[in-house]
Structure 1
Amino acid sequence: MNGKEQRKYWLDTMLLIGGPVLEALAKRKLKEQLPTEFHSDRSQFAHLEAFARLACGMAPWLELEGLEGEEEQLRVRYAGLMLEAIDAAADPQSPDYMEFKTEGQPLVDAAFLAHALVRAPKAITGQLTERVKGNLITALKQTRRTAPSGSNWLLFSAMVEAALYILGDPDYDRMRVGYAVHMFMDWYKGDGVYGDGKDFHWDYYNSFVIQPMLVDVVALFEQESVQYAALKPLIMERAQRYASVLERSIAPDGTYPFLGRSIVYRFGAFQLLSQAALQHFLEEALPPAQVRCALTAVISRIMSYPGTLDENGWLRPGIYGYQPELAESYINTGSLYLCAAVFLPLGLLPSDPFWAGEELKWTALRIADGENVMRDHALE
Structure 2
Amino acid sequence: MIRRKFIKGISFLGAGSIWPHTSATSLNTSIRSDREYWISMLLKIAEPVLTTLSDDVIKQQMPVEAVQGTTEERKKVTYLEAIGRTLAGLAPWLELGPDGTTEGKLREKFIKLSISSIHNSVSPGTSSFMNFTEGAQPLVDAAFLAHALLRAPKQLWSNLDKETQTHLIAALKSTRIIKPYFSNWLLFTAIIEAALLKFHKDYDAVRIDYAIQQHEQWYKGDGVYGDGPDFHYDYYNSYVIQPMLLDIVKTINQETGGMRDLVDRFTVRAKRYAAIQERLISPEGTFPPVGRSIAYRCGAFQLLAQMALQKQLPEVLLPSQVRSALTAVIRRTMEASNTFDKNGWLTIGLCGHQPGVGEGYISTGSLYLCTVAFLPLGLPTEDVFWSGPAIDWTSKKAFSGAEFPIDKALTYSN
- TM-score under structure 1 normalisation? 0.97
Is 2:54 the counterpart of 1:54?
A: no
Partner of 1:286: 317
1:59-138 correspondence to structure 2 within 5 Å = 59-65=91-97, 68-138=100-170
Write the distance in 2 (CA, Å) between the matches of 1:283 and 1:219.
Answer: 18
Partner of 1:162: 194
Residue 66 of structure 2 corresponds to 38
2:366 aligned counterpart, secondary structure: helix
Q: Does 1:4 align with 2:35?
A: no
2-structure distance, mates of 1:359, 1:6: 9
Is the partner of 2:220 in helix, strand or coil?
A: strand
Structure 1 partner of 2:177: 145
- The whole-number CA distance in structure 1 between the counterparts of 2:109 and 2:391 is 33
SS of 2:158's partner is: helix
Q: Is the 8 A contact 1:223 1:229 kept in 2?
A: no
- The correspondence for 1:364, drawn from 368, 390, 395, is 395
Structure 1 counterpart of 2:53: 25
Q: Secondary structure at the match of 1:189?
A: strand
Is the 8 Å Cα contact of residues 89 and 148 (structure 2) preserved in structure 1?
Answer: yes
TM-score under structure 2 length normalisation: 0.90
In 2 relative to 1, CA 68–367 (structure 1 residues): closer, same or farther, beyond 3 Å? farther
Which stretch has the larger CA shift, 223-232 or 306-315? 223-232
Q: 2:308 corresponds to which residue?
A: 277
Structure-2 separation of matches of 1:65 and 1:124? 10
- In 1, the alpha carbon distance for the partners of 2:250 and 2:384 equals 23
Q: Identify the structure with bigger relative contact order (alpha carbons < 8 Å, sequence gap 6+).
A: 1
Q: Secondary structure of the residue that 1:147 maps to in structure 2?
A: coil
Q: 1:342 aligns with which of 351, 373, 396?
A: 373
Task: Verify: 1:205 aligned to 2:236, yes or no.
Answer: yes
How far did 1:150 drift? 1.4
The corresponding residue for 1:330 is 361
Query: Residues 207-232 of structure 1: CA distance to partner in whole angstroms, max 9, x if unpaired?
Result: 00000000000001014566611111
Distance 1:67 1:379 in 2: 43
Structure 1 runs (4+) greater than 3 angstroms displaced: 65-68, 223-227
Distance 1:225 1:188 in 2: 25
Deviation string 1:94-127 (CA, Å, 9 cap, x unpaired) is 0000010113000000000000000001111111
Contact 1:275 1:345 (C-alpha < 8 Å) held by counterparts: yes
Letter in 2 for 1:279: Q
Separation (CA, whole Å) in 1 of partners of 2:305 and 2:405: 22
- Alpha-carbon distance, 1:167 to partner: 1.8
1:44 alignment partner, SS class: coil
Q: Structure 2: which amino acid aligns with 1:318? A: G
Query: Relative to 1, partners in 2 of residues 1:128 and 1:229: Cα closer, same or farther, differing over 3 Å?
Result: same
DSSP-derived class of the 2:308 partner: helix
- The separation in 1 between residues aligned to 2:115 and 2:189, in whole angstroms, is 23
Q: Per-residue deviation at 1:141?
A: 1.1
**Paired amino acid for 1:294:** A
Q: 1:144 to 1:24 in 2, by over 3 A?
A: same
Aligned to 1:174: 205
SS at match of 1:220: helix
Q: Deviations over 1:55-77 (max 9, x none)?
A: 00000000014854110000011
Equivalent residue letter for 1:49 = E
Residue of structure 1 equivalent to 2:287: 256
Determine if contact 2:143/2:189 at 8 Å carries over to the other structure: yes
Retained in 1: the 8 A contact 2:239–2:300?
yes
Distance 2:109 2:98 in 1: 15
By how many angstroms is 1:319 displaced?
A: 1.0
Which letter maps to 2:390? Answer: E
> Over the residues paired in the alignment, what is the CA RMSD in angstroms?
1.2
Deviation at 1:291, TM superposition (A): 0.4
Identity %, equivalent residues: 49
Number of aligned residue pairs: 379
Query: d(CA) in 1 for partners of 2:107 and 2:165?
Result: 22
Gaps of 5+ in 2: 1-28
Distance 1:68-1:291 versus aligned 2 partners, 3 A rule: farther
